[in-house]
Amino acid sequence: MSNDLPSELIFALELADIADAITLPHFANRTFSVDLKENLTEVTKVDRNTETALVNAIKHSRPQHAWYGEEHGTGGDSEWTWVIDPIDGTSNFVRGVPIFATLLALVHVDLGPVVGVVSAPALHTRWWGGINLGAYRNNRPIRVSTTDNLLDAHGSLTPNAAWNTAGKSQNIHRLQQQLKRERGFGDFWQHMLVADGSIDLAVDAIGLEPYDIAALVPIVYAAGGTLTDRTGVNNWRANSAVSSNSTLHSAVISILNA
């Protein structure tokens, strides 16, 4: 791995500044219209304009790198790719719920995601981390919890219709029954709460895309946690994500796949 990851993290944080400067004013002023994609998910010009600005910055400052975004697809040819979700939680953004973020990851063709930034400007919170870089929330080092028993665990579960289609809704219910406390924080936020030790585990919806997951991986792992798909495979291109403090991970995966 030849890239200077500390420098790439600095650049990723600069990209997050660019994104925040676009998304937060529009969120505060409600100055946008809403369209529906072919899959019936919401999208705004803010999503598209944010991604355009980020790609332009990458082209200018990292012309040797490729990019892959939710709104505009892929470009460039490199072993290093910036994976972008301009607004994770667009439905929240549209409804005035402040739980949305820009997700940015630097991904290596062989190593996978090596640097991640999650910037949630309306929450005044930013998480970042990477290989040999540590994990941080607003400049403070973070670490996953030390909870070692599901009966003592606080978790976030996001069951959706796809869990039922997969025939696993009953397993979500079994996990819910074993937890001390269960909430549904959703999207990026639940996994960042795992990374900073606020909760112990998070089970996401089925139907995710790589740009929903890539930025989360380096942060969770740098904080001492584990993030896999619902079967326990470390795969940032999967359609599901389960994060935990590592200690509880095998128990969670076993219940989900019983």
Would you place residue 40 in the very low, low, confident or very high pLDDT band (cuts 50, 70, 90)? low
Would you place residue 70 in the very low, low, confident or very high pLDDT band (cuts 50, 70, 90)? confident
- The token pair at 92 is 């929240």
Would you place residue 37 in the very low, low, confident or very high pLDDT band (cuts 50, 70, 90)? low
**Shared domain check, 227 and 175:** yes
Average pLDDT of the segment spanning 108-125: 97
Q: Residue 211 is part of a domain; what is its CATH number?
A: 3.40.190.80
**Shared domain check, 159 and 101:** no
- Of 72, 107, 141, the domain-final residue: 141
- Of 94, 118, 141, the domain-final residue: 141
**Shared domain check, 226 and 176:** yes
**Shared domain check, 239 and 136:** no
**Shared domain check, 154 and 127:** no
**Shared domain check, 121 and 157:** no
- The token pair at 62 is 């990292």
- The token pair at 204 is 């996401």
Q: What percent of the chain has pLDDT over 70?
A: 97
**Shared domain check, 182 and 136:** no
What is the rounded radius of gyration, in angstroms, for the C-alpha atoms of the chain? 17
Phi-psi region of 138 (alpha: psi -120 to 50; beta: other; left: phi over 0): left
Write the burial class of residue 56 (CB in 10 Å: 0-12 exposed, 13-18 middle, 19+ buried): exposed
Sign of CA pseudo-dihedral 235, 131, 148, 195: negative
Q: Residue 57 is part of a domain; what is its CATH number?
A: 3.30.540.10
Helix (H) or strand (E) holding 72: none
Domain that holds residue 215: 150-256
**Shared domain check, 133 and 10:** yes
**Shared domain check, 162 and 134:** no
**Shared domain check, 163 and 248:** yes
- Of 100, 120, 141, the domain-final residue: 141
For the chain, the domain total comes to: 2
**Shared domain check, 165 and 250:** yes
**Shared domain check, 158 and 40:** no
Would you place residue 142 in the very low, low, confident or very high pLDDT band (cuts 50, 70, 90)? very high
pTM over 0.85, yes/no = yes
Tokens 């010009």 sit on residue: 45
Give the span between the Cα atoms of 58 and 55, in whole angstroms.
5
Single-letter code of the amino acid located at 40 = L
Residue 32: predicted pLDDT: 78
* CA-CA-CA-CA dihedral for 163, 168, 171, 173, to nearest 10: 40
